Every structure is written in C-alpha cells, then in structure tokens.
Amino acid sequence: MVKKTNLKKLIIETLDKNKALDIVSIDLKDKSSIADHMIIASGTSSRHIQSLSEQVLDKFKENGFSQCKIEGRDSTEWKLVDGIDIVVHIFNPEKRKFYELEKIWSELIPKERVIV
C-alpha cells in the first residue's frame, strides 16, 4: 500500500498515461472535510471517461482502498471516483467548463464561510 501523497501522484500518472486531458490537482485540506485532495481531468468521449474512471478505481483498490466507488455510472458526461481522501472528477470538456470546479475550489474560503 502506498502513502496518500504517493497515491495522489499514482492517480495523476494513471490519468496522464491514459491520455486524460487538463489534469488538475487541488489541495482541499483547509477548505473542506469531504477530502484532502481533488483531482479533475477531462476525457475525449463517453467511453474514454468510463475507461479512465475504471482505471482510477482499480488503482485505489490495488492500494488497499477497497471502499472506493464510482458515482455517475449512468452518465456519459462525467464520473466521480470517490477515493475517500482523494476525489477524482472526470468530465467531458463542455461539462467541465459548465461546472468550473477548479475555479470554485481553488479560491481561498474563509473558515467562517465554510459550511459542510
């Protein structure tokens, strides 16, 4: 089993190796209690998005995170791989632009305004 920081690197490498586009990692430690890191990437088609999400899920499970799961299995436009401490969003480019998660989560949030 790899350490969490190495797992994040392994997930990013897996996405990159499998031709995910525009991979971004966001540190959530001081912003939310839902996870420590969020990784966002784009796929080129619904099949590519599905394949990427399955490969990411496999990496989590290979490294001892057996409770991980894929949300949005029926969607052709996005998938979320819930790796407990690392959350991975995989979008088609149009949906990613619509939600702008990088913009939302990259901004500093004052602690008084954080509601979980």
Q: Flag whether 116 is in a domain.
A: no
Q: Flag whether 113 is in a domain.
A: no
Q: Flag whether 112 is in a domain.
A: no
Whether 44 shows a pLDDT value over 90: the answer reads: yes
Q: Flag whether 19 is in a domain.
A: yes
Q: Flag whether 114 is in a domain.
A: no
Could you give the CA distance from residue 42 to residue 94 in angstroms, rounded to a whole number?
Answer: 9
Domain ranges, residue 92: 4-106
Domain total of the chain: 1
Whether 3 shows a pLDDT value over 90: the answer reads: no
Query: What is the reported pLDDT for 100?
Result: 87
Could you give the CA distance from residue 116 to residue 2 in angstroms, rounded to a whole number?
Answer: 29
Q: Flag whether 93 is in a domain.
A: yes
DSSP code for 38: E
Place of tokens 């790899």: 2
| Crossing angle of helices 46-62 and 4-17, rounded to 10° | 150
Backbone angles phi, psi at 113, to 5 degrees: -95, -10
Q: Flag whether 96 is in a domain.
A: yes
pTM (2 decimals)?
A: 0.85
Residue pLDDT, tens place only, 70-104:
999 899 999 999 998 999 999 999 999 998 888 77
The CATH number that applies at residue 64 is: 3.30.460.10
Is 31:42 a contact under the CB 8 Å cutoff? no
